[in-house]
Structure 1
């Protein structure tokens, strides 16, 4: 049968890729080379796209958790005859510690089975399927290992118990008694590059991964409100970082649907510039300044000299620009949701909000950009110049509409952000004529947003100029300092969004959106905190934060009717939203906002 619900999965990471393991002990997703590489286990998207399960024979009950301050997952299976644990980890480089973890990950998945009480019969089923399930490799036993080679990839499975090879799969039956340990190591290597895959001792791999993650956590001592949730979310964001470049992917998966049976199933294993500023803020708030610095360095390198060319809106993890989308028609899709896509054609779109994202991030990092190198100065100046010109144009918006461009309010607001931060930088990025031109354009954008973004009949700011359609993206207005959260019209907008788009604490992006979009709920909590409404902000935050799965993980959306998590998983945007909202609540507690207050310079600077 196909893998279970999206939220039933745990998340493993090694600084290059991720694996997802469900509650039944099945690894249903792993792209070992890097986040956006072809999968060798893809059962999330089709029953015959590969998996690796280790579980008791017969009935069992499951309890699981991450070992403290790590992404090492321990699942305890309790059966009528006893209990056993399975501990899973993706390998880090030998003795990598602190900020170095994940830089040299070897591409190894380790699983250690340990008897806790009684005796438990276990079964293993290993079914690799290369190239997103297109290729079934021959499995060949060589000594104590099972080797599989197909196309550009090869895998080597070693274990402490005999494994039998069959038609496209390997199986094993073994019994574990209290105090006994059985380990398995699965190594990946390119077929034509170097020697065979490494398969070190599984227990050693787990111990090294645990020490590595704990050493990273020990460098980040967040002391604000909701400390445990913030630290877990910060670790998830770190796990979604491609360590060789420092880029943070939006999610670890492709094509998990926004709506079951729907067709909005996109590949999120890439890096959106939109997420960039919010990621920096989140890492900053979570006491991860070194990661924030790496993020800014990455985006500056990825963008390069843009001149008059439109600013790119997304990249591959090493800065690749062409992310052309294509379908995998041989896959059934999660819960029958098709198409299954690889690549994302949003890279072709104009999304003018990214201009504000980069300049806002630069302003946040301004003390670390002094002295400012010429490449960064030229980039910021070019982005400010673009904002002064293109703010008048329609675009695809932050929700990446694929039908027609519109004059989205959030895009205009972020153009204002770009110009506002450019004016604040002043002579550091432009001459007096530049600054005067940016200031004039900033004021022009502001006037247009206030005039054409407000709908008197609705009593709210709407999603686009001269529109009557609500859009939760306007909640960014106080968060970037465009308007105080306590502004009369902003308060009215927040009230309408709560009334029309919010259900059980979950905020949908627009009328008709099938599920609540997690970060929008956290945006609303942040706005309420900035408006001085600490009680409602706290209540909303806690209701949404309680909707993680049992491991503290969020997907992109949550169905308010069923509580089911939907969309790609885990979703960095959702965890970033939690961290930033916790920061707003902490600041509101430390320095309550006066009536009418909103964005405070010190909170972001």
Structure 2
């Protein structure tokens, strides 16, 4: 099995169009510059031969070498300080914002330029540059040519990359650029990699040091437009910044994660592509954005959902879409890639878009209900038809089995969480009826709502176990049952919910405070752990909820990033990163600790 950096070793860069991962060793091992779900040009994250761009002291990671790193406050501009026996040097990395961009303009017209600024802090440090572009997930090895006036251009297939470093005499090798140089205290050296399309506009030209300052200012101005007055403000602000970094600015869609195929278990095959936007996450995302006082992002995300769904017919609404509303996200395997830590397959696309998942309309309509006052006393035609169409679809299909919240790829079942969100659809539609025009039928919808509730309480409760279980008739506990009080299906103080919360915590909890999704789940799932925090608050156990929250947030890496899961044996991060739902869970749990009766 190959040795490579831990998932938690990576920092996240974003221009709200694309994102990159930079390791503690100074290597950019993931960048899909066209957009989040585009092809990588640096993909060493998934295979040693799939490209990278490293700038670090010679012998990085050796004896006497120590790394400190941090984001500049309220930005995704990452500063890494390397301490070596010869001295200290800082490398500051960012994906450039458009010149003059401020606040909500961030990322709409980003130039697709990766900036790296090297600054000598003390002594004299010998540095190494290693530029190995491999477009199309490592399938292409580009031709490299030196440019008049300095710099190296790499061309292959649809991609053009230009590496520039004004103060370095870069030379093109056969398939890479390598160069060693020294940096003394007080010396500043800027470099950048600009992406362009072979048959499109040429790569942008920026002055790296100036562009870094402007990008920092753009992030700072963006954050100044938002406010949060609850508990754990630094954690919430940082998680909000991460969500902003996962937002595709052109449409407002939030990518579930930056990466594809990082495994839920090392060596396992549950390796999925999360670079798309899930409707299931919609209500939780909307809630987090409102908590963090981001109304513009919330309204843009809502507009994206309405456009992506389109007219509703008989077919189930897909659980996920591409970042500009693409529906067909058919999955294929990159068989040439070894996968992270030899975890195969590497997937591009996600076939969950084909599944029937009955919870999806409930997430969307719950978000509409949350935004109802913002959306007006009477909804416009498209919004009205969307709500009506989703409601009628649920009214006619709620009794069917589906794939459930965790998108199982085996047999359809009657999942508890799906039925509860069908109830949410009907309940919120009844409450919205006066805004839906003459086609609204709240009396019939209320009858369906009440029938769903009766079935859930009868079939979802397992008397022998003393808890709501994951699926009707199943003896298996599932942490998704914690969503019932969050969705206002039952109060957390209901005796059945108290019993369920206690059983889930006892049987699925761990010494670290993390929750597994089910008994055979090999890792702790961060979102479920934050749900438990909320449930404990709602049962009146505020102090224990706070203690659990602080234990769970301790699983972030050194720059405050969460992946999807945590290995229960080693404490290592697992799954795609950074994971939007983990940061959403943090924001919502922090607000629940602030306002126990919120939502």
- Equivalent of residue 292 in structure 1, options 298, 307, 313: 298
Pick the aligned partner of 2:366 from 360, 363, 376.
Answer: 360
Alignment pair present for 1:328 and 2:334: yes
Residue 68 of structure 2, aligned match among 63, 77, 93: 63
Say whether residues 1:413 and 2:414 are aligned partners.
no
Q: Residues 298-345 of structure 1, C-alpha deviation per residue, up to 9 Å, x if partnerless?
A: 101111111333222110000000000000000000000000000000
Q: 1:447 aligns with which of 434, 454, 458?
A: 454
Unaligned runs of 5+ in 2: none
1:436-475 alignment to 2 at 5 Å?
Answer: 436-475=443-482
Q: State whether structure 2 residue 518 is matched by structure 1 residue 517.
A: no
SS in 2 for 1:103: coil
Match of 1:596 in 2: none
Given that 1:257 and 1:265 are in contact with CA atoms closer than 8 Å, whether structure 2 keeps it comes out as yes
Structure 2 residue aligned with 1:313: 319
Larger displacement relative to structure 2 (231-240 or 158-167):
158-167
Deviations 1:193-222 (A, max 9, x none): 12x212311111211110000001111121
Question: Paired residue for 2:577?
Answer: 569
Q: What are the residue-to-residue correspondences of 1:154-169 with 2, within 5 Å?
A: 154-159=160-165, 160-169=167-176
Q: Is the 8 A contact 1:148 1:155 kept in 2?
A: yes
2:438 and 2:395 mapped to 1: Cα distance?
15
Alignment: residue pair count: 590
Which among 384, 390, 394 is matched to residue 387 of structure 1? 394
Aligned to 1:30: 31
| 3-state DSSP of counterpart to 1:577 | helix
Flag as ranges the 4+ runs of structure 1 deviating above 4 A.
430-433
1:3, 1:22 within 8 Å by CA — same for their partners in 2?
A: no
For 1:257 and 1:353, the matched residues in 2 are separated by: 25
Aligned match of 2:43: 42
Report the Cα offset of residue 112 of structure 1: 0.3
- Quote the residue 1:550 is aligned against: 558
Shift of 1:427: 2.4
CA distance, structure 2, for counterparts of residue 587 and residue 464 of structure 1: 31
- Give the aligned partner of residue 99 of structure 1: 104
What is the match of residue 597 of structure 1?
none
Contact 1:21–1:29 (CA<8 Å) still a contact in 2? yes
* Residue 244 (1) aligns with residue 250 (2): yes
Q: How many Å apart are 1:3 and its aligned residue?
A: 4.0
Q: 1:528 aligns with which of 536, 543, 552?
A: 536
Q: Supply the distance in 2 between the matched residues of 1:318 and 1:150 (Cα, whole angstroms).
A: 26
* Partner residue, 1:51: 52
- Superposition pairs for residues 171-182 of structure 1, below 5 Å? 171-182=178-189
Counterpart Cα distance in 1 of 2:508 and 2:567: 13
Indicate conservation of the 8 Å contact 2:433/2:440, yes or no.
no
Instruction: Please name the residue that 1:77 is paired with.
Output: 82
Alignment of 1:249-260 (within 5 A): 249-260=255-266
* Matched position secondary structure for 2:361: helix
CA deviation profile, 1:420-454 (whole Å, cap 9, x unmatched): 00011122125487111110010000011111111
| Distance in 2 separating the partners of 1:422 and 1:200 | 51
- Determine the C-alpha separation between the residues in 2 that align with 1:449 and 1:259: 33
Distance 1:3 1:179 in 2: 33
Match of 1:594 in 2: none
Structure 1 position 539 matched with structure 2 position 537: no
**CA deviation after TM superposition for structure 1 residue 15, in Å:** 1.1
The aligned residue for residue 212 of structure 2 is 206
Matches within 5 A, 1:478-517: 478-503=485-510, 504-517=512-525
Given the superposition, is the C-alpha separation of residues 432 and 141 from structure 1 closer, same or farther in structure 2, using an over 3 Å criterion? closer
- Once the two structures are superposed, the pairs formed by residues 571-586 of structure 1 within 5 Å of their partners are 571-586=579-594
Structure 1: distance between partners of 2:103 and 2:171: 40
Counterpart Cα distance in 1 of 2:287 and 2:192 = 37
Structure 1 residue 167, shift from structure 2 partner: 2.6
**How far apart, in 1, do the equivalents of 2:281 and 2:447 lie?**
27
Residue aligning to 2:9: 8
Q: Contact 1:43–1:51 (CA<8 Å) still a contact in 2?
A: yes
Any idea what SS the aligned residue of 2:124 has? strand
Q: How much is the aligned-residue C-alpha RMSD, in angstroms?
A: 1.1
TM-score by length of 1: 0.96
Alignment of 1:264-303 (within 5 A): 264-303=270-309
SS of aligned partner of 2:449: helix
3-state SS in 2 of match to 1:506: coil
- After TM superposition, the score normalised by the length of structure 2 is 0.97
Do 1:30 and 1:40's aligned partners in 2 also have CA atoms closer than 8 Å? yes
How far, CA to CA, are the matches of 1:351 and 1:485 in structure 2? Answer: 25
Greater Cα shift, 365-374 or 237-246 = 365-374
Partner of 2:124: 119
Q: Distance in 2 between matches of 1:119 and 1:145?
A: 25
Distance 1:88 1:171 in 2: 19
Q: What CA distance in whole angstroms lies between the structure 1 residues aligned with 2:283 and 2:84?
A: 48
1:18 Cα offset (Å): 0.2
SS in 2 for 1:419: helix
Greater mean alpha carbon deviation, residues 2-11 or residues 426-435: 426-435
Kindly state the Cα deviation for residue 577 of structure 1 after the two structures are TM-superposed: 0.4
Q: Is the contact made by 1:245 and 1:298 (CA closer than 8 Å) also made in structure 2?
A: yes
Distance change >3 Å, CA 433–CA 68, structure 1 → 2: closer
What is the distance in 1 between the residues matched to 2:438 and 2:146?
69
1:235 counterpart (236, 241, 245): 241
- The 3-state SS of whatever aligns with 1:500 is helix
Matched residue of 2:529: which SS? helix
C-alpha distance in 2 between matches for 1:557 and 1:168: 37
Secondary structure, counterpart of 1:110 in structure 2: strand
Corresponding residue number in structure 2 for 1:591? none
Name the structure 2 match of 1:215.
221
CA distance in 2, matches of 1:356, 1:531: 24
SS of 2:485 mapped into structure 1: helix
| Distance change >3 Å, CA 433–CA 296, structure 1 → 2 | closer
Once the two structures are superposed, residues 228-275 of structure 1 have per-residue CA deviations (whole angstroms, 9 ceiling, x without a partner) of: 000000010000000000000100000000000000000000010001
In structure 2, what is the Cα distance between the partners aligned to 1:262 and 1:54? Answer: 32
Distance 1:564 1:433, change over 3 A: closer
Where structure 1 has 5 or more consecutive residues not aligned to the other structure, the ranges are 589-599
1:518 Cα offset (Å): 0.5
